[in-house]
């Protein structure tokens, strides 16, 4: 009995992350597109740094004693473009995922070899973990090839739950480290105004003069700023325990996306990579525009055209030296993340209110509501491909 209980409590957190391969496939394409248009090329300025500036932390770059020649960085960027393009169309997806992650890791090791680390590690971790979740089982060349050789329908419709759960745990841990560092360096101290201090120095010393900071700085309420300190610490610490269940994790992530919008407006620091990482937990085919995406296998011609276009994006960005769009989409990405967070919170709230009311409806009313739900499910089975969410309590992103 105790064994059963332990097994169940061990399985449930992971099972809560079960989702259709189509959701992850759409995320795979979004991730690869982001890498190709906004990340490539990485560290092209590194070869111009003198040896005196070479100051890497412990890691791959510290195996060397100087910055690499420009040919190495160019070669790695071309390799990253190739892997990301393969990932975009889902051609040898697992290999492309690992290749993308490792190439990005190598380039970032050089990028941070002058002593500054930008903490965008989730962009490296995502393909290395989700590559094993089966995000190439839909919307991919791999899926098309398999559908011609494998007649069984069972394989290919579901993603593996454990890599998604593992990725949630890693996201939670990463944010936890930030919250822990704050909690142990004065953010909980009632005498210190840490958010205010960072805001004032960021505005007046670093020179990031945002309109939101201009509005916020005159606020002198100690409770307001201490509240901001405590709320920040609580939110960042909460992500890790929340990762034990998908529903709680998505709720906290929705709050975190809104927090990122606040940080961007006040500090002009857009955490674009984090928002892209959180995208792994969105159920894309529940969104109206994407409901039918991935239902049909990818055509060979379409895949080839997409691959060529993806390569062209990466190569153009590399030749330009600053990427196709560079950082110009940062605000848009963080803004969309925040908007989706608000929509998710509102939807959850409405659903809770609905559940609360339906519990109090007379039996005839409940039966009518069930009939409506059932008829909806019969009319549009494609909207719920895995059947997890019809009138049940299964989590949705």
Partner 1 sequence: MNLTAMSDREQRGDLMAEPCLTPRVRAVFAVVGGLLAVQCAFIHFFGEPYPALTMPTFSGSSGYRDGAVEMTQYDAVFISAGQEFSFTPNELLAEFPDGHRAAIAANALRPTSDTAPTPTKASRIRRIQETIFPGFAAGNLSRNSAENKASLRAWLRGRAESLVPGRPVSRAEIRWYRVAETFGADGTRVESRRTPGGTLIVPLAGGPR
Q: Which residues, numbered 96-115, are part of the site for partner 1 (CB under 8 A)?
A: 105, 108-109, 112-115
Is 237 a residue that touches partner 1 (CB under 8 A)?
no
**Who contacts 190 (Cβ-Cβ below 8 Å, separation ≥6)?**
226
For partner 1, which stretch binds (CB under 8 A), given 184-192, 246-254, 311-319, 341-349?
A: 184-192
Paired with 20 in beta bridges are 158
CA quadruple 179, 180, 181, 184: dihedral, nearest 10: 120
Q: Which residues, numbered 248-267, are part of the site for partner 1 (CB under 8 A)?
A: none
Overall size of the chain counted in residues: 397
Is 394 a residue that touches partner 1 (CB under 8 A)?
yes
Given a contact cutoff of 8 angstroms between Cβ atoms, the answer to whether 81 and 40 are in contact is: yes
Q: How far is the CB of 104 from partner 1 (least distance, A)?
A: 10
For partner 1, the closer of residues 300 and 382 by Cβ is: 382
Question: Of these, 1, 52, 289, 319, which contacts partner 1 (CB under 8 A)?
Answer: 52
User: In the chain, which ranges are continuous DSSP H helix?
Assistant: 2-15, 21-34, 70-89, 93-111, 121-130, 141-149, 161-183, 194-204, 211-216, 222-242, 246-267, 272-278, 300-320, 330-360, 363-379
Is the previous residue joined to 362 through a cis bond, with omega within 30 degrees of 0?
Answer: no
Is 283 a residue that touches partner 1 (CB under 8 A)?
no
Is 55 a residue that touches partner 1 (CB under 8 A)?
yes
Q: How far is the CB of 89 from partner 1 (least distance, A)?
A: 27
For partner 1, the closer of residues 206 and 292 by Cβ is: 206
Paired with 158 in beta bridges are 20
Is 377 a residue that touches partner 1 (CB under 8 A)?
yes
Is 48 a residue that touches partner 1 (CB under 8 A)?
yes
| Reduced 3-state DSSP string for 179-221 | HHHHHCCCCCCCCCCHHHHHHHHHHHCCCCCCHHHHHHCCCCC
For partner 1, the closer of residues 299 and 375 by Cβ is: 375
Question: Of these, 22, 23, 28, 182, which contacts partner 1 (CB under 8 A)?
Answer: 182
Question: Of these, 41, 56, 134, 270, which contacts partner 1 (CB under 8 A)?
Answer: 56
Is 63 a residue that touches partner 1 (CB under 8 A)?
yes
How many residues sit close enough to partner 1 to count as binding (CB under 8 A)? 87
Q: How far is the CB of 211 from partner 1 (least distance, A)?
A: 14
Site of tokens 């770059």: 61
Number of alpha carbons in the 13 Å side-chain half-sphere of residue 42 = 27
User: Which one, of 253, 91, 282, lies nearest residue 169 by Cα?
Assistant: 253
Q: Which residues, numbered 204-223, are part of the site for partner 1 (CB under 8 A)?
A: 204-205, 217-218, 220
Q: How far is the CB of 347 from partner 1 (least distance, A)?
A: 19
């Amino acid at each position: 009995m105790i064994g059963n209980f332990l097994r169940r409590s061990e399985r449930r957190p992971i099972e809560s992350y079960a989702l259709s391969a189509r959701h992850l496939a759409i995320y795979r394409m979004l991730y690869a597109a982001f890498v190709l248009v906004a990340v490539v090329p990485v560290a092209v300025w590194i070869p111009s740094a003198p040896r005196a500036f070479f100051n890497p932390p412990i890691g791959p770059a510290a195996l060397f004693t100087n910055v690499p020649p420009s040919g190495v960085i160019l070669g790695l960027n071309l390799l990253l473009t190739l892997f990301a393009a393969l990932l975009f169309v889902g051609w040898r997806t697992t290999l492309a995922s690992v290749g993308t992650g490792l190439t990005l890791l190598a380039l970032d090791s050089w990028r941070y070899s002058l002593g500054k680390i930008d903490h965008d590690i989730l962009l490296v971790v995502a393909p290395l973990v989700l590559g094993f979740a089966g995000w190439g089982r839909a919307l991919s060349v791999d899926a098309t090839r398999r559908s011609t050789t494998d007649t069984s329908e069972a394989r290919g419709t579901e993603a593996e739950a454990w890599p998604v759960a593992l990725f949630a745990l890693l996201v939670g841990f990463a944010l936890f480290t930030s919250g822990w560092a704050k909690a142990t360096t004065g953010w909980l101290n009632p005498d210190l105004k840490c958010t205010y201090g960072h805001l004032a120095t960021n505005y007046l010393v670093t020179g990031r003069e945002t309109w939101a900071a201009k509005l916020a700085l005159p606020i002198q309420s100690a409770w307001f700023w201490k509240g901001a300190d405590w709320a920040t610490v609580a939110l960042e610490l909460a992500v890790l325990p929340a990762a034990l269940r998908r529903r709680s994790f998505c709720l906290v992530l929705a709050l975190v996306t809104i927090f990122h919008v606040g940080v961007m407006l006040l500090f002009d620091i857009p955490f674009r990579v984090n928002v892209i990482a959180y995208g792994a937990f969105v159920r894309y085919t529940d969104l109206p525009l994407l409901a039918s995406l991935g239902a049909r296998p990818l055509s060979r011609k379409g895949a080839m055209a997409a691959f060529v276009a993806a390569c062209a994006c990466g190569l153009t960005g590399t030749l330009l030296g600053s990427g196709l769009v560079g950082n110009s989409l940062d605000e848009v990405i963080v803004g969309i993340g925040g908007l989706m967070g608000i929509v998710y919170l509102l939807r959850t709230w409405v659903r809770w209110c609905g559940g609360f009311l339906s519990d109090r409806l007379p039996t005839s009313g409940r039966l009518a509501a069930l009939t409506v739900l059932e008829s909806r499910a019969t009319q549009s089975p494609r909207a719920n491909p895995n059947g997890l969410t019809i009138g049940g309590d299964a989590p949705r992103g």
